[in-house]
Amino acid sequence: MTAQPSDPPIEHLLRELTPQVLGIVVRRFRDFAAAEDAVQEASLAAAMQWPRDGLPENPRAWLTRVAFRRMTDHIRSEAARRRRESEAALEMDQLAPSVDAAGESDQDDTLILLFMCCHTALTPASAIALTLRAVGGLTTAEIAHAFLVPEPTMAQRISRAKQSIKDSSIPFQLPTAEERAQRLRAVLHVLYLIFSEGYTSSIGPQLRRADLSHQAMRLTLLLHHLQPDDTEVAGLLALMLLTDARRLARTGAEGELIPLAQQDRALWDRQQIAEGVALLSATLPKGAVGPYQLQAAVAAIHDEATRPEDTDWPQILALYDLLNRMSDNPMVALNRAVAAAMVHGATKGLELLDALKDDARVAEHHRLDAVRAHLVELAGDREGAVRHYRAAAGKTASLPERNYLLAQAARLSSELPLTNEQE
């Protein structure tokens, strides 16, 4: 995997180290909820102290020591856990020299934490939500947006998942090959969602959160090393490489969104595209093709087109037809509608969109209005496109996306003929 551009050092470092430290603390204290609180407190302390005092020699060891102290304080505060207090304090004393010398160990526990959060004791939805919180560092609001559910609903789901982890006494260790196979689908979905939130942030002033996308790519690469023969792991890694290769062309000088068709393709990372294509090419002949391989194939078609007009839209539509048959995913259906419009005309795309208007998962999502605005514009209805662009802008919490959608509406409004009132 090619190197990523530099990010704000402390923010990026904390994003990468926090799940690793959480894994260490859970391993030692076996209390997921309390460990998460302790690590969050340690990360907050680091965010306040490191800019002022400078980075410690071993940041992970620093975070681990602070989190251990927070956990010990937590144990001491509960009279009913006095015996556990003495055991934890003794364990901490024994661990202190190795923490000071080497930051606990060179082991990265993040993959273990990832598989632990995706344990079969949890429902798939709860496992994915908990992992996005613990490993991805997403806020409850961001996770709720990814699941297309209200934030209070997601908060309850995550809380129940933490309690289930605690009640089940799930061991903190890398699962067997059979256990990994049972949890792999949820793990891959989590990594996909973390990457997606990093590549196009659903909330805030920036289009991209490089810390999240980098973390997802790093963990997927680790998973690929662990399971090199799994075609969907390879497909997901290829998808991330091929998508992330466009990152430098996606925003302008002021951070504004630049859509795919208008991007300067000279800025695309050709080495990363070659890596993704090679990985996908080696994976496809190995057997059954899954959704991540198909999405990677779509990304490869876009990346290999020298100009937007060279894009093989019939092939993309065929791939989305396959994806649509594999899963009931409204976002796949949206992308399929766009591909159908590019092949058969805007009317066909709008027909496919109509099937989604009563789907509660996406009916109020800004992307449905944004895609409809695009297709309505292609059909020649500028007034309708303006309405849908404005509706989409009012539904997104991403400032770059909102600005882009409003700019599209303003562009079309300026091209509309004047009414009698305007004259």
State the CATH number of the domain containing residue 350.
1.25.40.10
Output the pLDDT for position 414.
84
For 48-74, give the secondary structure using H, E and C.
HHHHHHCCCCCHHHHHHHHHHHHHHHH
Q: Which of 97-101, 140-144, 227-231, 332-336 has the highest mean pLDDT?
A: 332-336
Question: Which of 107, 138, 173 is where one domain is finished?
Answer: 107
pTM: 0.74
Does residue 368 lie in a domain region?
yes
Does residue 283 lie in a domain region?
no
Output the pLDDT for position 114.
80
**Poorest-pLDDT segment among 34-38, 105-109, 185-189, 262-266:** 105-109
Output the pLDDT for position 149.
78
What range defines the domain where residue 323 resides? 312-417
* Structural domains of the chain, count: 2
Output the pLDDT for position 108.
61
Does residue 240 lie in a domain region?
no
Output the pLDDT for position 392.
95
Question: Which of 91, 107, 123 is where one domain is finished?
Answer: 107
Which is higher by pLDDT, 253 or 296? 296
Does residue 34 lie in a domain region?
yes
Residue 82 has pLDDT above 80, yes or no: no
Does residue 403 lie in a domain region?
yes
Does residue 114 lie in a domain region?
no
**Poorest-pLDDT segment among 89-98, 169-178, 221-230:** 89-98
Which is higher by pLDDT, 40 or 335? 335
**Average pLDDT score over residue span 55-68:** 89
Does residue 248 lie in a domain region?
no
Does residue 20 lie in a domain region?
yes
For the chain, give the secondary structure using H, E and C.
CCCCCCCCHHHHHHHHHHHHHHHHHHHHHCCHHHHHHHHHHHHHHHHHHHHHHCCCCCHHHHHHHHHHHHHHHHHHCCHHHHHHHHHHHHHHHHHHHHHHHHCCCCCCCHHHHHHHHCCCCCCHHHHHHHHHHHCCCCCHHHHHHHHCCCHHHHHHHHHHHHHHHHHHCCCCCCCCHHHHHHHHHHHHHHHHHHHHHHHCCCEECCCCCHHHHHHHHHHHHHHHHHCCCCHHHHHHHHHHHHHHCCHHHCECCCCCECCHHHCCHHHCCHHHHHHHHHHHHHHHHHCCCCHHHHHHHHHHHHHHCCCHHHCCHHHHHHHHHHHHHHCCCHHHHHHHHHHHHHHHCHHHHHHHHHCCCCCCCCCCCHHHHHHHHHHHHHCCCHHHHHHHHHHHHCCCEEHHHHHHHHHHHHHHHHHCCCCCCCC
**Average pLDDT score over residue span 92-104:** 39
Tell me what the pLDDT averaged over the chain comes to: 83
pLDDT tens per residue across span 371-415: 999 999 999 999 999 999 999 999 998 999 999 999 999 999 887
Residue 220 has pLDDT above 70, yes or no: yes
Question: Which of 73, 107, 141 is where one domain is finished?
Answer: 107
